[in-house]
A and B are shown apart, each in its own frame.
Chain A
């Protein structure tokens, strides 16, 4: 190789070998043992689902220490919120968690509504529940396909996307986008749903119930798959509590905690649904929780469609350029990965004084270094997948 002037560039191999990595690798490398290896998992490895980097100290195939390194997709949403008006920030919430953007949008809009004391019309509440649950199913489906792909089975990915495609089509017709939805507005939703939406959603629910049986036969009952999950990545309940884990990770550790039930927002207390719980505490428990949650979401959607009232889909009196009075509020919603929280502080201006976003994956991933100790690398991939991480949500 030659540079612009034609002189030959030689790679100084000795100098290259003497480098000890970047800031994080150097910090990580203080160890007493000399026969171990420090390995970077990511940030471009496909099984880390985005730009997650994990520093591993390994002895053979066993992990002695693990430390996630974050920040590769950090965009400072909390600062963006401070320089924008309340409605202007709404589209950004879809970019935080691209798999379940409606739950994030709901957390933000819900906090603003709580601050402004805005009433939401009945119909809008039902539309929110239906779309949010549809989005939850699509989030779980993508996780399902990608997780099994991580474990070495390629085919189920296409089955998952086959079903996910239907949800994307249904939501695209009313929302306009297929991934980073921004649908909720202060006081309601952006557009009303029509009869075609209702029939298509009902058809999807019926189809999905049949597909879940096939999923069970194809994947859940497969003994190779079960061996990769059962007894792997045991997270005791007390560990969950100490790290603030929520969502399927917590419910897979035997605690029936769901924000939809614990802190019922919107109209969730009107629906009859179960909170799936498994007390095996392992990756299989977390897997089964999500599979059951798809069923429960279908139940909620069907009940909401049956009871869908007529009326306005947005409160016309709600200000489009709100200027809420000074206060601070907290609003939490249940996302696909756990408890999403928005701590919103207003000083009486047109933009928030401070918006703190609580991301569930952030807390769920923080327990990884404790759980991964002493496991095989292949099992660590299984544990990572079972946590259902969305990296943009962690880095925000």
Chain B
């Protein structure tokens, strides 16, 4: 897992997105996928600090690389603990927790999807147990999982209408930096 790196192939896209960034009125809103990739490329493979507890290792991956990382976890013999999600200003941070039966140590794989088009590949082919976790995540946060074998509401009423219940109000949303201040964002990098 040590070679899990995600900062590939986005240098040229970074430049092309400069123009798009200027148009954005809300500087924390990231809706363009490429821009998102730029943002989270800074965060990949962060080291686990003293304050970061309960985890052995953490990785940030792009939504495109997610399936690849999950397959790697599967080959290494890990099991999926749960799929969590955090509503942040940058977008929805989807958190996959993995653990190992023989050599315990929690590994967390994180990815961020834009809020106006929250879409991720489903990992049900790799971990069939993820099916319910993904449905739950869709119920509570509205994240769509492409290629899910049996989508639909799991815990919420099928007739429930309204926004996904765990989404935050605009004023209550925090940025990644506010949640993880110790993780050291590179200087000169504004989130967006």
**Are chains A and B native binding partners rather than an unrelated pairing?**
yes
A67 to B166, alpha carbons, bound, how many Å? Answer: 26
Q: Does B43 touch A at the CB level, under 8 Å? A: no
For residue B42, CB closer than 8 A to chain A, the reply is: no
Q: Which one of B52, B128, B140, B154 contacts A243 once the chains associate, using CB atoms below 8 Å?
A: B128
Nearest Cβ in chain A — how far from B58, in angstroms?
A: 10
Which residue, B55, B84, B150, B157, has most C-beta atoms of chain A within 10 A?
A: B84
Q: Is A343 an interface residue (CB 8 A)?
A: yes
Interface contact B131-A24, CB-CB below 8 Å: no
Give the segment of A32-40, A280-288, A346-354, A376-384 that binds chain B: A346-354
Provide the A258-276 mask, 1 if CB < 8 A to any CB of B, else 0: 0000110000000000000
Q: Which residues of A contact B128 (CB under 8 A)?
A: 242-243, 366, 370
Is B186 among interface residues, defined by CB-CB distance under 8 A?
Answer: no
- CB-based contact B86/A354 at 8 Å: yes
A2: Cβ under 8 A from any B Cβ: no
Q: Once the chains are docked, how many angstroms separate the CA of A362 from the CA of B80?
A: 12
B179 A366 Cβ-Cβ under 8 A: no
Give, as a whole number of angstroms, the nearest-CB distance from B2 to chain A. Answer: 21
- CB neighbors of B among A329-387 (8 A): 329-332, 339, 341, 343, 345-348, 353-354, 356, 358, 362-363, 366-367, 370
How many A-B residue contacts, CB cutoff 8 Å? 122
Apart from A70-B132, A330-B108: 8 A-B pairs, beta carbons within 8 A: A23-B152, A257-B101, A330-B53, A332-B54, A345-B86, A347-B174, A366-B131, A395-B155
Asked if B158 is at the interface (CB within 8 A of a chain A CB), the reply is yes
Provide a sorted-by-A list of 11 A–B residue pairs whose CB atoms are within 8 angstroms: A70-B132, A71-B155, A74-B155, A241-B101, A242-B128, A243-B129, A244-B82, A329-B54, A330-B97, A331-B54, A356-B82
Query: Are B132's CB and A330's CB within 8 A?
Result: no
In the complex, what residues of A have CB within 8 A of residue B157's CB? Answer: 71
Judge whether B158 and A23 touch: CB under 8 Å: yes
Query: Which listed residue, B53, B79, B108, B178, touches A244 by the CB 8 Å rule?
Result: B79
Top 9 A-B pairs, shortest CB-CB distance: A330-B54, A243-B129, A356-B84, A262-B104, A23-B158, A358-B82, A71-B155, A257-B101, A74-B155
Q: How far is the CA of A120 from the CA of B86 in the complex (A)?
A: 29
Q: Is the CB of A244 within 8 A of B101?
A: no
A367 near B101 with CB under 8 A, answer no
Contact yes or no, B127 A242, CB < 8 A: yes
B188 interface residue, CB < 8 Å from A? no
Chain A residues positioned under 8 Å from B131 (CB to CB): 366
B contact set with A: CB distance below 8 Å: 51-55, 77, 79-82, 84-87, 95, 97, 101, 104, 106, 108, 127-129, 131-132, 140, 150, 152-159, 165-166, 174, 178-182
In Å, the complex CA distance between A329 and B82 comes to 14
Across the interface, do B166 and A343 meet the contact criterion of CB distance under 8 Å? Answer: no
Residues of chain A within 8 A (CB-CB) of B87 are: 354
Residue contact B86 to A329, C-beta cutoff 8 Å: no
Q: Is the CB of B84 within 8 A of A354?
A: yes
Contact A241 B77, beta carbon cutoff 8 Å = yes
Q: Which residue of B lies closest to A370 (CB)?
A: B128
Instruction: Say yes or no: A329-B53 contact (C-beta < 8 A), given A71-B156, A243-B129.
Output: yes
A78-B140, A366-B129, A367-B129 known; A353+B174 contact, CB < 8 A: yes
| Among candidates A74, A339, A347, A367, residue contacting B156 with C-beta atoms closer than 8 Å | A74
Question: Is A396 part of the binding interface, using a Cβ–Cβ cutoff of 8 Å?
Answer: yes
Question: What A residues does B179 contact at CB under 8 A?
Answer: 326-328, 345-347, 353
List residues of A (58-99) whose CB comes within 8 Å of B's CBs.
Answer: 67, 70-71, 74, 76, 78-79, 82
Alpha-carbon distance A341/B99, docked complex (angstroms): 12
